[in-house]
């Protein structure tokens, strides 16, 4: 029975965590909209997701003296945002852009949540057997 | 769950923006004050924000890395106005008083900017709160 639960929730469970992490990064940007020299960040969702899958990347360091390629092991998947316009105080947060991203991220979260909800109600139905 | 952190981060921003609003109120209240010396004249106060980059910068009870705090408060560098007003009890021997360098117009703009930034963070909290509530609803699905 445990197997049913693990398999059916699938990736959505981890994706939900990632999505809430992205919301947090965007909340940081909005909080620091007036902080001098603050650099806006965003989560590289695709990269973070592929790391969840544990797919071996095309190039990997197989020898201690190899240089790491691409994302390093300790990377948290955060990338600096490239602003459309620069500002005088070195802050790269563009509030309207961040608001748009936050709104979309919230919707994405709800979408993942709906998928999870469906899975849970499916499991419930199977367990009840009616 | 990261929602408590989201709400905490937005909370630090609310705090910082409230300080900014307070500074603006203080500046506006002192827009008309005069002093007898140039050094004693009131200068507009501006809070400077700083991002909380790691645990060492946050308070133990509020470990919201990525939030914001008021780092320090600077005086507006605009020179103060020197006005001839011999009738004032504060006038120097030459009959001059020094008015504050507060510009009412830029203070109003500052106040509006602080209010908008505050509202933005309230929206962040609202959205996070709704998502949190929906996530809890899953148990009842």
Among A30, A113, A116, the residue with its CB nearest the CB of B120 is A30
Helix (H) or strand (E) holding A80: strand A78-80
Flag whether pLDDT at B22 surpasses 90: yes
Q: Please give, rounded to a whole number of angstroms, the shortest distance from the CA of B141 to a CA of chain A.
A: 6
| pTM, 2 dp | 0.82
CB-count exposure of residue A85 (10 Å: 0-12, 13-18, 19+) = exposed
Q: Please say if the pLDDT value at position A66 is more than 80.
A: no
Q: Percent of chain B scored above 70 by pLDDT? A: 99
Q: Which residue of A has its CA nearest to B135?
A: A113
Question: Do B35 and B93 contact (CB within 8 A), yes or no?
Answer: no
Q: Which residue has the tokens 């994405």?
A: A108
Q: Which of B21, B89, B1, B48 is nearest to A24 (CA)?
A: B1
Q: Which of residues 61-80 of A touch B (CB under 8 A)?
A: none
Distance from CA of A20 to the nearest CA of B (A): 6
Q: Is B131–A99 a contact, with Cβ atoms under 8 angstroms apart?
A: no
Q: Is the ipTM of this complex over 0.90?
A: no
What integer pLDDT is reported at residue A73 of this predicted model?
47
Q: Confirm or reject contact between A106 and chain B (CB < 8 A).
A: yes
Q: Which helix or strand (DSSP H or E) is residue A41 part of?
A: strand A41-43
The chain B residue lying nearest A94, using CA atoms, is B117
pLDDT of residue B26: 94
Residue A60 has pLDDT above 80, yes or no: no
DSSP conformational letter for A37: T
Q: Tell me the count of A-B CB pairs closer than 8 A.
A: 90
- Given a cut of 80, is residue B20 above it in pLDDT? yes
Q: Exposed/middle/buried for A59, CB within 10 Å: 0-12, 13-18, 19+?
A: exposed
Tens-digit pLDDT profile for residues A70-106: 555 456 778 888 889 888 889 999 989 999 999 999 9
Give residue A120's pLDDT.
85
Report the pLDDT value the prediction gives residue B141, as an integer from 0 to 100.
62
pLDDT of the residue at A119: 86
Residue B90 has pLDDT above 70, yes or no: yes
Asked if the Cβ–Cβ distance from B127 to A31 is below 8 Å, we say no
Q: Which residue of A has its CA nearest to B10?
A: A31
């Amino acid at each position: 029975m445990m197997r049913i639960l693990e398999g059916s929730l699938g990736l959505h469970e981890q994706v939900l965590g990632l999505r809430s992490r992205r919301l947090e990064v965007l909340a940081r940007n909005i909080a620091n909209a007036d902080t001098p020299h603050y650099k806006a960040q965003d989560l590289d969702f695709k990269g973070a997701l592929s790391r969840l899958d544990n797919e071996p990347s095309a190039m990997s360091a197989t020898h201690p003296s190899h240089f790491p390629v691409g994302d390093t092991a300790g990377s948290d998947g955060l990338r600096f945002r490239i602003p459309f316009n620069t500002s005088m105080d070195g802050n790269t947060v563009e509030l309207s852009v961040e608001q748009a991203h936050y709104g979309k991220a919230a919707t994405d979260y709800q979408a993942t949540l709906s998928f999870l909800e469906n899975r849970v109600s499916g499991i419930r139905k199977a367990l009840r057997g009616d | 769950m990261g929602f408590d952190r989201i709400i905490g981060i937005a909370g630090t921003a609310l705090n910082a923006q409230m300080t900014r609003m307070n500074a603006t109120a203080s500046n506006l209240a002192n827009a008309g004050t005069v002093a007898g010396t140039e050094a004693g004249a009131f200068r507009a106060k501006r809070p400077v924000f700083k991002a909380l980059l790691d645990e060492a910068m946050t308070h133990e009870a509020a470990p919201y890395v990525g939030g914001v705090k008021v780092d320090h408060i600077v005086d507006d560098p605009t020179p103060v106005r020197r006005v001839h007003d011999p009738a004032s009890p504060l006038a120097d021997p030459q009959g001059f008083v020094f008015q504050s360098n507060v510009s009412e117009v830029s203070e109003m703009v500052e106040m509006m900017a602080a209010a908008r930034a505050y509202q933005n963070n309230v929206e962040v909290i609202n959205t996070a709160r709704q998502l949190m509530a929906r996530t809890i609803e899953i148990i009842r699905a």
